[in-house]
Structure 1
Amino acid sequence: MFDIGVNLTSSQFAKDVPQVVERAQAAGVTGMLITGTNAAQSEAASLMAQQHRGYCWSTAGVHPHDASSWNDEVAQQIHQLALRPEVVAIGECGLDFNRNFSTPEQQEAAFSAQLAMAAEFSLPVFLHCRDAHARFVALLTPWLDKLPAAVVHCFTGSAEELQDCLALGLSIGITGWVCDERRGLELRALLPHIPADRLLLETDAPYLLPRDLHPKPASRRNEPCFLPHIVRQVATWREDDPEWLSQKTDENARRIFRLV
């Protein structure tokens, strides 16, 4: 099973990255993609992936929350990172009109620039969309025939939004959000409608600790070693065999991000 979304550069992991990786390996996680969310974090993610070469890879990009930082210098930094072999996708990029830490205009400019960069390098995009579906689709669609793949990370949208994403050929990243009985039930019901070859699984660690995980860690910190729990729960709700789903989603990740 492959974890396509780990925020290993988070300060919550500052003291024990090697141990986090060891626990993931011991739990049966076969690899992980470390998320870059701005220029500095993308550089850090790349260096971490280098330290765990063959097990970790990284993305390079600017999250919509950080879109106000986008300028020529940041673009050049991301451009240079995209040349590194461990960097296998552009992102996390997209739109987030829920919090608007950066203005919608700044978000759209940074998103469009990163889509162009991904097309230039023929890299997949690792996407974020929250409360911005219509505009997200409008900006993304013209680029899709120039991109090798696109993954909607941590999908939490509606049935209609899922159908739009699938119609566009996007792959869908599912997190422990579906394990939340308060806000994950709508998404849980949609799981059987995601084609197996479009499904990817992730923890989004250290965030989104599954609420139905027992026992819960004292720190309340999510880790990649909890991915097997998400796999089992998603398999149950899809009526899939967990081992088969684990292997299938691993294969999907390695195909989409062209991992060797």
Structure 2
Amino acid sequence: MSYIDVDTKAAEISVRGLTKIFGVGTGAVTAISDADLALHRGEFLSLLGPSGCGKTTLLRIVAGLEFPTEGQVDVRGKPVWNKRKRSKAATKPISMMFQEARLFPWFTVAQNVALPLRIAGVPKEQRIARAHEICETVGLKGFENHRPTQLSGGMRQRASLARALVTDPQVLLLDEPFGALDAMTRDTLNMELMEVCARANVTTILVTHSIAEAAFLSDRVVVLAPRPARITGIEAIPFPRPRALDLQRRSEFQDMVAHLRAALMEGAQ
């Protein structure tokens, strides 16, 4: 069954017939099976499913970090993969943030944040100025010259988020970026993430195990079944933006969380 409900010709991200198999023969494992999906510009979409169901694999294929066995992924109308060859033109607008901050300990925060610009050949003065600007956006003003070892876990994730945003990406891929943080820090960073993405009109895909996080951040939530990952449903989140944290205390939000949990349980059967 196809779950594409955005015109694929106008889609910012289009996934069609995506299948990923690891290994061969009797040892082969199907991580994703015949997935269809499309996102429009500026949409925030979450992938929700049990551990090992292929969420991260799907994200990595969109990012150009893993090639598909079958199917096609287009970003802004350009195919990410031509067989096993990755398209630089398609992946250029993409930034990805991981669960671990992955900062270089010998670099300052500003140097870590500016690294993508350094790789792109941006002059030093210009890239450091941009790094300071984005550090202020994510709440790291005054910490630009600190080393990662001098930061809390939440601040390291702020630096990782700043690095993902420093190139002004049009597509942001997030692989459980705040999963290891305490609840209060996670709430704070989720609010900042939501505000930054809305302001920049960034198309975002988030992998998360948190039903409440998916419901709070997303425009739509993709529900996936256990391996091989199959899209069993796509749920629209009806709450208007901007959203405040007190939304999570409202009965209609709790009803949405319960609905998503039921969809997950039904898909797992």
Q: TM-score, normalised by structure 1?
A: 0.40
Q: TM-score, normalised by structure 2?
A: 0.39
* Structure of larger gyration radius: 2
Looking at secondary structure, tell me which structure has more helix per residue: 1
Looking at secondary structure, tell me which structure has more strand per residue: 2
